[in-house]
Chains A and B, each alone.
Chain A
Amino acid sequence: DAGVIQSPRHEVTEMGQEVTLRCKPISGHDYLFWYRQTMMRGLELLIYFNNNVPIDDSGMPEDRFSAKMPNASFSTLKIQPSEPRDSAVYFCASSHNSGGAGNEQFFGPGTRLTVL
């Protein structure tokens, strides 16, 4: 298994531009998570999906951020318009609900976003 795949690995853009981050979860996993990591705030959960349906988006910082999961094998996190304070590493993770506590999350390698 290739694990969680994220693209691009690095993104440099200018303030005001639209940014789209992509994630392919592990096949068969029914949960997908988007996290953001910065030095100041650490690792934060932004939103997560179960069976392609958004369950909790309380971590999404503001309306400039949106996430979709059109099917079980693909999700996007979009920032429009982007701002310098959005610069961070964005991780996608997936897990399978085994029905118990053994629902470890598998993280992708992350996308390092720099907004100039």
Chain B
Amino acid sequence: DAKTTQPTSMDCAEGRAANLPCNHSTISGNEYVYWYRQIHSQGPQYIIHGLKNNETNEMASLIITEDRKSSTLILPHATLRDTAVYYCIVRVKGGFQKLVFGTGTRLLVSP
């Protein structure tokens, strides 16, 4: 699976958009980009995934660059409850379904 690089931490004001970047320059054509988050003392939670098109759901939007070497997770109106560690993971379609969690980005949303 391709390696990802994320900033260690980010801050965001409540109500503003949080844009979390992820670099995955070695991503293969059959690898998807997944985002999970982990709120303190809870298990990780799936957010969104995509292959090459931008995706949106009720939680967030995922913007993948045309060359697929990087992506951005967007939380359009961050709330205090969005404070968490966000993990960007790339993995093959189907396959053995392994998720390899890196260190992620610690997002702090402040009032």
| A107 and B102 contact, Cβ closer than 8 Å, known pairs A100-B94, A101-B51, A101-B94 | no
Establish whether residues B43 and A103, one from each chain, have CB atoms under 8 Å apart when the complex forms.
Answer: no
Question: Are B99 and A45 neighbours in the complex by a CB distance under 8 Å?
Answer: yes
Q: Is the CB of A93 within 8 A of B43?
A: yes
Interface size class of A (residues with CB under 8 A): 20 to 34
CB contacts under 8 Å to A, within B26-63, are: 32, 34, 38, 42-46, 49, 51
In the complex, residue of chain A having the shortest beta-carbon distance to the beta carbon of B44: A107
Q: Does residue A105 face the partner (Cβ distance < 8 Å to B)?
A: yes
- The answer to whether A56 and B49 have CB atoms under 8 Å apart is no
Q: Number of contact residues on B: which range applies?
A: 20 to 34
- CA of A93 to CA of B46 in the docked complex: distance in angstroms? 11
Return the chain A residue nearest B47 by Cβ: A104
For chain A, residues 35 to 59, give those with C-beta under 8 angstroms from any C-beta of chain B.
Answer: 42-45, 48, 55-56
Interfacial chain A residues near B49, Cβ < 8 Å: 101-102, 104
**Are the CB atoms of B94 and A107 closer together than 8 Å?**
no
- Inter-chain CA distance A109–B102, complex, in Å, is 20
The answer to whether the Cβ of B103 comes within 8 Å of any Cβ in the partner chain is: yes
Identify B97's interface contact among A42, A95, A108, CB under 8 A.
A95
30 chain-A/chain-B pairs, Cβ below 8 angstroms = A4-B43, A31-B97, A42-B101, A42-B102, A43-B38, A43-B44, A44-B101, A45-B98, A45-B100, A48-B96, A55-B96, A56-B96, A56-B98, A93-B43, A95-B97, A97-B94, A100-B94, A101-B32, A101-B49, A101-B51, A103-B94, A103-B97, A104-B34, A105-B44, A105-B46, A105-B97, A106-B46, A107-B42, A107-B44, A107-B45
